Amino acid sequence: MPLSFYQSSTQVFIHGLGNLSAILEKGSAYGEARKIDPTVMCGLRLTADMLPLSRQVSTACDSAKLAVSRLSGVEAPKHADDEKDFAELQSRIAKTLDFIRSVPEAAVEAAAGRKISLKIGGTQREFESDAYLTLFALPNFYFHVTTSYSILRANGVELSKRDYLGPILG
């Protein structure tokens, strides 16, 4: 059996968002122990002109949500990108997981052979569904999960590759 679209998208996003949620739990506990305002923690950035933690997380969520929506043709719910603390970010992840889990496996598998059209930087672009998933949606998702991890890690939160890869490492 080759790889299915469902396991290469939906299952990857469910796994990765679960790991991201656990990483944020550690960030939240770190801040609480030091009485740091959670909105300060969620506003941390790697550098001034990169997105803060809050937007790295919401963009990771949207990368996953929009990938499943575009692959399946099922319309995605809109989210406001206004999360300011860990509780709101956890709720954003939960809403994203609810949508992703609600899209039937058969609808995601129907992406095979279809074209995906999306606007990037103001230009409408068309991709084969396999190139869209493997060269756009997945690297984009991992970019924002990794950057969320790095922001907390670089600010002292004790995290390791095990937190990033999650339960697959047992």
Q: Where are the alpha helices (DSSP H) in 5-104?
A: 5-8, 10-33, 38-42, 53-72, 86-102
Q: What character string, x for contact with a second copy (CB under 8 A) and - otherwise, covers 46-85?
A: xx--x-----------------------------------
> Cβ closer to a second copy: 7 or 91?
7
> Cβ closer to a second copy: 17 or 85?
17
Note the residue count of the chain.
170
> Cβ closer to a second copy: 44 or 85?
44
Binding to a second copy by residue 99, rule CB under 8 A?
Answer: no
Find out whether 42 and 84 touch, Cβ atoms under 8 Å. yes
Rounded to an integer, what distance in angstroms lies between the CA atom of residue 39 and that of residue 110?
41
Find out whether 4 and 109 touch, Cβ atoms under 8 Å. yes
Binding to a second copy by residue 13, rule CB under 8 A?
Answer: no
Binding to a second copy by residue 143, rule CB under 8 A?
Answer: yes
Binding to a second copy by residue 16, rule CB under 8 A?
Answer: yes
> Cβ closer to a second copy: 10 or 85?
10
> Cβ closer to a second copy: 77 or 139?
139
Find out whether 132 and 62 touch, Cβ atoms under 8 Å. no
**109-138 residues near a second copy, rule: CB under 8 A:** 109, 112-113, 120-121, 125, 127, 130-131, 133-136, 138
Rounded to an integer, what distance in angstroms lies between the CA atom of residue 53 and that of residue 38?
11
Minimum CB distance to a second copy, residue 108 (Å): 11
CA distances from 148 to 34, 38, 96, 144 (A): 20, 15, 17, 6
